[in-house]
Amino acid sequence: MEMNSANVEAVVKQVLESMLEKPIPSAQTANAGSQAIPKTAHVAMLTSLEHYDIKEFPMPEVGDGDILVKVEGCGVCGTDAHEFKRDPFSLIPVVLGHEGTGEIVKMGKNVKVDSAGKALKVGDKVVTCMIFKDDPEITMYDLNKQNVGGADVYGLLPDDDIHLNGWFADYILIREGSTVFNVSDLDLKSRVLIEPCAVLVHAVERAKTTGILRFNSRVVVQGCGPIGLICIAVLRTMGIENIVAVDGEQKRLEFAKRMGAEKSVNFKDFQGIEALAQGVKDAFGGHAADFAFQCTGSPVAHANIYKFIRNGGGLCELGFFINGGDATINPHFDLCSKEITLVGSWVYTLRDYATTFDFLKRAKGIGLPMDELITHEFPLEQINEAHQTNLAMKGLKIAIINK
Ligand SMILES: [Zn+2]
């Protein structure tokens, strides 16, 4: 037998295989990327109200500007819960999941950098933000003016021939014109929390436009679900310490304190709004709040919060991501005579998204228990259970984690 190079390779392979007792993938597979890409992908498709089916589709072609991502995890959002229960966006059948992250397994030849100009390669961990089909030239540097509300987002797209349109899946195809960020320097849980955290980074940016929010401000945060808790964390990372959390559940109020609230007020301990307002004032040592963040979806909570705020103070309302109905306020007492500066906040801009990566690093740096916001993890196959757990309000953030 002549020992040419092919023979040598075969012999070496045989020896190595006998040592390892398992076949070594052929050179062709090994060169295909850091991991072999299967022929099919799986998605959790919401096919009827309160029901997902796991569906299998052929792995799509990756175009010159596309990125194929192996999904690692995705948070379940309040928006997903509404769509699961009532389909308000009329998207069924749809692959949901917009708080996802994963690893690049294949890229088109034109993909070189992310939306912030950072290099991209196979193996990098990424998140997506908005999709600008109409204007793919937009970059994060001129996006302060553009809110996600006017753009498309993976996980809230109508079904199409590719099907891999949401993060409740094992693979997703990020198409040309989408924003994508290299977040390889963040751990998995932090990456799953990016989207909801961006909502609060934006809300605090909106609050800052009033000129009222300062280092030594007294700030009340009403509602201690994930949004209110992250709000407290963002304020704390900015150096605001005088924070009072308001909620009706003691467990959430305890967590609010660990996230950076100095005091907490359980509204169930008070009869009527006058007594509650006095309770909040007492928590600030006898002062009304300089600024308030309203983080519940309750119209009554919106009406009440004005009573916590001092004359000349400010309010950021961010609790109504869906129509929760009308709130009754008294414009004379609540707004005019107190000269309240009111801002509403709606999702985020691309710039806020990038700021959020730094927020998450800072929050960990000062020891805030961000990871503990994710209270439940489910595999993709148990996505129906994950949503039922979310609807039952059993935890804080529910996440689908692919093993
Ligand atoms: Zn969300």
Q: For residue range 282-309, what is the model confidence (pLDDT) as tens digits?
A: 999 999 999 999 999 999 999 999 999 9
Side chain identity at residue 363, one-letter code: A
Neighbours of 87 (CB within 10 A): 15
Nearest to 167 by CA among 91, 77, 88, 83: 77
pLDDT for 63 beyond 50: yes
How far is ligand 1, taken at its centre, from the CA of residue 79, in Å?
A: 6
DSSP 113: B
What's the confidence (pLDDT) of residue 374? 97
What's the confidence (pLDDT) of residue 279? 98
Side chain identity at residue 123, one-letter code: G
Cα diameter, the chain = 99
Cα 232 from Cα 226, distance rounded (Å): 10
Q: What is the mean pLDDT of residues 390-401?
A: 92
What's the confidence (pLDDT) of residue 116? 87
Which residues keep their CB under 5 angstroms from ion ligand 1? 77
Task: Using the CB atoms, write b or e for 313-347: b if 16+ within 10 Å.
Answer: bbbbbbbbeeeeeebeeeeeebeeebebbebebeb
Q: Is 197 helix (H, G, I), strand (E, B) or coil?
A: helix
Positive/negative CA dihedral, 18, 20, 23, 28:
negative
How far is ligand 1, taken at its centre, from the CA of residue 99, in Å?
A: 6
Query: Any bridge partners for residue 95, and if so which?
Result: 45
Torsion angles phi and psi, residue 228, rounded to 5: -65, -40
pLDDT for 175 beyond 90: yes
What's the confidence (pLDDT) of residue 323? 85
Banded model confidence at residue 17, pLDDT cuts 50, 70, 90: low
* Alpha carbon separation from 57 to 161, 164, 387 (Å, rounded): 10, 8, 23
pLDDT for 141 beyond 50: no
How far is ligand 1, taken at its centre, from the CA of residue 41, in Å?
A: 23
Please give the full DSSP string across 312-361, using - where no structure is assigned: EEEEEE---SS--------IIIIIITTT-EEEE--S-BHHHHHHHHHHHH
How far is ligand 1, taken at its centre, from the CA of residue 292, in Å?
A: 22
What's the confidence (pLDDT) of residue 59? 98
Q: pLDDT tens digits, residue range 372-393?
A: 999 999 999 999 999 999 999 8
What's the pTM?
0.86
Q: Is 133 helix (H, G, I), strand (E, B) or coil?
A: coil
Cα 49 from Cα 32, distance rounded (Å): 40
Q: What is the mean pLDDT of residues 62-68?
A: 97
* Alpha carbon separation from 118 to 100, 126, 183, 354 (Å, rounded): 19, 11, 10, 12
Cα 313 from Cα 328, distance rounded (Å): 20
Nearest to 376 by CA among 361, 395, 354: 395
Cα 5 from Cα 8, distance rounded (Å): 5
How far is ligand 1, taken at its centre, from the CA of residue 346, in Å?
A: 12
Nearest to 88 by CA among 296, 321, 268: 321
What's the confidence (pLDDT) of residue 151? 72
Query: How high is the mean pLDDT of the chain?
Result: 89
Percent of the chain residues topping a pLDDT of 90:
78
Cα 103 from Cα 191, distance rounded (Å): 11
How far is ligand 1, taken at its centre, from the CA of residue 216, in Å?
A: 31
How far is ligand 1, taken at its centre, from the CA of residue 296, in Å?
A: 15
How far is ligand 1, taken at its centre, from the CA of residue 193, in Å?
A: 9
Q: pLDDT tens digits, residue range 333-362?
A: 999 999 999 999 988 888 888 899 999 999
Neighbours of 26 (CB within 10 A): 9
Dihedral, CA atoms, 360, 364, 367, 372, nearest 10 degrees? 80
Cα 154 from Cα 159, distance rounded (Å): 11
Banded model confidence at residue 133, pLDDT cuts 50, 70, 90: low
* Alpha carbon separation from 170 to 37, 57, 72, 102 (Å, rounded): 11, 11, 7, 9
How far is ligand 1, taken at its centre, from the CA of residue 74, in Å?
A: 10
How far is ligand 1, taken at its centre, from the CA of residue 78, in Å?
A: 6
What's the confidence (pLDDT) of residue 143? 45
